[in-house]
Chains A and B, each alone.
Chain A
C-alpha cells in the first residue's frame, strides 16, 4: 500500500494502532507531539504539532477540562460528552481519516484520539508565530487605512469581514497544493458578482494541480488565459480596503495562506491608475492625479525611445535652440545614443535589482554608489550625456508613479528604445501597433482588459477619464458586469 493510500485510510479504533500509524505516516517527526493520558476511564492521546498550537490555550481549553471528565462507558460516549457538554474550541471538526487528521494537525489543530473510537476530535487552538498587521509596503496611501494583508489567511479574511459586514459577503475556503496543502479563500459579494464569472473562477481553481502554492504567482496563471499577454488580467492588492471596493464592484478575490496579497478577477487596465486616495480628495484633484499617472506611464515607456529616435533619425523635429543644445551635449559622447541609452537603462535596472535583493542596511550604500559615484562619474567622464541621463531619469520616475505596471514598463521601455533607435518614429509606431493589439486582445472571463476605453462604455468613463463626485458615483450603481462583452 502506498503512502497516499495509507493516508486515506479511516482512523483505527485502537489507541496503540492509531499512535503507531501516526508515527509511521509522520516519519516519527520530532515536532509531532503525542500526549497520552486517561480520562473518563478511557486511554486517550492529544496530538499536536509543536509551534503550531498555543500551549497555553491547549492546556486551558482542552487538557484541563478534558482530564476532569467523570468515567464514561465507551469512547463514543466520551466524545459525545465532550461535544455536547464542553465548549473547548469554536472550531472543532470530527476527523475520520488520517489525511484530514494530518491536514488539521499541520494547520494548528490539536487532535484528540481515544481507545475504541473510530474517529477523532480536532480543536482549533492555533498559536503559530505570524507577522502582525502592518502598513502595506507598496500601494502607499495618505488618507485611507494603514492596514495591509498579512501572511495568515484567517487574519486576512477577518480584515475583509471587518470592512464588509454584509451577509452577502461569502468566503469559500479550499485547499490547494498536494504537498503544501495551502488554504485558499475565494471571496465575493453574492449579490454583486456575476454567477458565470464565479462558476468559471471555480472551474479555474479546480484545475489547479500543483505540489505547492507558495505565492500568488502559482495561482494567477490558472486564472488567466494561456495565450501570451503582456499585461496580467488578474490583479493583485495588499490592501483590504482596496479589495473591499473591488468586491463591491462585483469582482471576486482569492486569498492565499502565507501570502500578504489577494488576487482580484477580473482586472482592467484602468485599475492600475486608480488609488484609494482618488476617492478621498475632491474630484478635480483626483482627476488631475489620474491624468498625471496616465502621462507618467506614457513618459515611462516612450520618453527614452522618442528622444533617441528624434536625435538619431528626426533632428528636424527639434527647434533650433534645442537642437544646438543637444548637439553640444552629444558631440563628446563616445557611444551611439542608442547604446548610451541602453547602458543607462540597464544600469538602472541592475541598481534597482540590487536595492531589492540586498539586505536593507546595504541598500543605502547602493543608492550612494549608483547616484553619486556611477551617475556623476559617467557624466563627468563624458560616457553619458546629461540630456540623455535626464530623459532616462524622468522615464524611470514616471515608471515609479505606476508601480502596478512596473514589469511591463521595464520591458516595454527597452523594446521601444530599440525600435526607436533603429527605425525612428516609424519603428516606435509599428511596435505600438503590436503592443496595442496585445493589450486589446487581453480578455479573461469575457471582460476586455481595455474597457471602458475600447470597447467604449460612456458609463465607465465616470471613474476612469474623470472621477465623478461621490453622490453621482453611488447613483450609477456600477458593477464590473457592465463591461462584460457578451452581455452587449
Chain B
C-alpha cells in the first residue's frame, strides 16, 4: 500500500516550500514574513474542504478528466518554474560548470532531472521516507544558519521602512506556494486523518516561512536594495565562524531540496498522467521532467507573474471540492 504518514507529507511539502523561499526574488521585509505566515494559515482554511472530501472516501480518480488535466498542467508549470528558480538562484551559489553558459545550465538541470527520475521512480514511500531524513538534515542546517544569523543580525533592520503592505505580501506568499498542486495529490495518499495532516503541514509551513524570512530580513535588511535573492544571500552572509565559511552547508541543502522538490512534482505529474492518459504506459516520469525543463526554459520564475501564480495556487486547492459540489448539485437536480 502506497500510504504515507502525515509527518512524511509535511516533510515532503516543507522541503518544497523551503526551496521556494531560498529562491525568493526581490525585496523582503518583516511584512513579507507576516504575509507568508498568514498566507499559509489562509491556505489551511482553503484546504479543509479538500481534506474533508478525502476523508469521506473521495479520491482524485473520482474527479473529472478536466480537473485532472488542470492539476497536471499546474504541476508541470510549477515544476518548470522550479527549474527557472534553480537557474536564477545558482547565480549566487557556486555550482561547477554552471556559469559556463547555456550548456552549464542544461548540465545542472539535466543532472537534477536525472536524479529526480531515479528518486521518483523509487515510489512514493521511498520518496517520503528519504524526504523525512533530508528534511531533518535540512532543519539542522537551517538551524545553524538561523543561529549564526541571529548572532550577526541587526535588530534595527526590523524597523526599516518596508514599502510594502500585507495584501501584496500575501499574494507573494500564495505565488510561492506552487507545491499546492502536489499537495492535492499527496493528501490522498495520507493514511491518517487528512484534516490533521493538512493542519500539521500548513502550521509548520507558517512557522518555517516566518523564521526563514524574519532571519533573512535581520541579516540582509541593510543591503536589501542591492540583493536579488535575499534568503540565499542571508545564508551566505551569516557565517558561524570568523575564519571558516560554511556556504557548502547551504549548497548541500539547496541541492538536496532542489532534487526532492522537483521529484515530488514529477511524482505528482506521473500519478496524474497515469490516470488522465492511460495510453501513456512508460516513461511518464521522464516525460514529465522533460516537459518541466522545457517549461522552465520558456517561462520565468513566479516572481515575474505573482498574481497569476497566486490565483492558480488558490484555485488548485479549491478545484476538487468545487467539482464535487457542482456534481452533487447536478445529481440532486436530476433526482428532483
Chain B associates with chain A:
yes
Number of interface residues of B (CB under 8 A): 39
Q: Given A429-B256, A430-B115, A436-B130, A486 and B251 touching (CB < 8 A)?
A: no
Q: What residues of chain B lie closer than 8 Å to A428, measured between beta carbons?
A: 252
Q: Does A432 contact B (CB under 8 A)?
A: yes
B199 part of interface (Cβ distance < 8 Å): no
Choice from A425, A443, A454 contacting B133 with Cβ under 8 Å: A454
A316 within 8 A of B: yes
Q: Contact at A437–B118, with CB atoms within 8 Å?
A: yes
Q: CA of A425 to CA of B90 in the docked complex: distance in angstroms?
A: 13
Chain A min CB distance to B109 (Å): 12
Check if B95 is an interface residue, CB within 8 A of chain A.
yes
Structural contact, A436 and B133, CB atoms closer than 8 A? yes
User: Do the beta carbons of B130 and A440 come within 8 Å of each other?
Assistant: yes
Q: Shortest Cβ distance from A75 into chain B, in angstroms?
A: 61
Instruction: State in angstroms the CA–CA spacing of A310 and B96 once bound together.
Output: 12
Which one of A313, A433, A450 lies within 8 Å of B259 (CB-CB)? A433
Expressed in whole angstroms, the Cα–Cα distance for A442 and B129 within the complex equals 11
Contact A426 B130 (CB under 8 A): no
Q: Decide yes or no whether B260 CB sits under 8 A from chain A.
A: yes
Checking A424, A441, A454 against B96 with a beta-carbon cut-off of 8 angstroms, the contacting residue is: A424
In the assembled complex, the Cα of A425 lies from the Cα of B125 at a distance in Å of 27
Q: Which of A430, A436, A441, A448 contacts B255 (CB 8 A)?
A: A430
Measured CA separation A485–B125 after assembly (Å):
10
A433 to B7, CA, bound (A): 19
List of A residues within 8 angstroms of B115 by Cβ: 430-431, 433-434
How many Å lie between the Cα of A443 and that of B248 in the bound state? 32
B245 at the interface (CB under 8 A from A): yes
Secondary structure of the A side of the interface?
Answer: helix
Query: Which listed residue, A425, A436, A455, touches B248 by the CB 8 Å rule?
Result: A425
Q: Do B132 and A454 have beta carbons less than 8 Å apart?
A: yes
What separation, in Å, do the CA atoms of A273 and B133 have in the docked complex? 18
Inside 8 A of B252's CB, which chain A residues have their CB?
Answer: 425, 428-429, 432
Total chain A interface residues with beta-carbon distance under 8 A: 37
Q: Given that A434-B118, A455-B8, A486-B1 are contacting pairs, would A426 and B96 also be in contact in the complex, using a CB cutoff of 8 Å?
A: yes
A448 proximity list for chain B (CB < 8 A): 129
Q: Find out whether the CB atom of A423 lies under 8 angstroms from the CB atom of B96.
A: yes
Report whether B126 and A437 are in contact in the complex, using a CB–CB cutoff of 8 Å: yes
- Name the distance in Å between B96's Cβ and chain A's nearest Cβ: 5
Whether the Cβ atoms of B248 and A441 lie closer than 8 Å is: no
Given contacts A433-B259, A455-B129, 14 further A-B contacts (CB under 8 A): A317-B246, A319-B244, A423-B97, A429-B254, A431-B115, A432-B256, A433-B115, A433-B256, A433-B260, A436-B130, A436-B134, A441-B125, A454-B129, A486-B1
Q: Which residues of B contact A (CB under 8 A)?
A: 1, 5, 7-8, 94-97, 108, 111-112, 115, 118-119, 122-123, 125-127, 129-130, 132-134, 191, 241, 243-248, 251-252, 254-256, 259-260
Q: Which residues of A approach B to under 8 Å, CB–CB? A: 310, 313-314, 316-320, 422-434, 436-441, 443, 448, 450, 453-456, 485-486, 488
**Which 9 pairs from chain A and chain B are nearest by CB?**
A441-B126, A429-B255, A440-B129, A440-B130, A319-B243, A441-B122, A433-B259, A454-B129, A454-B132
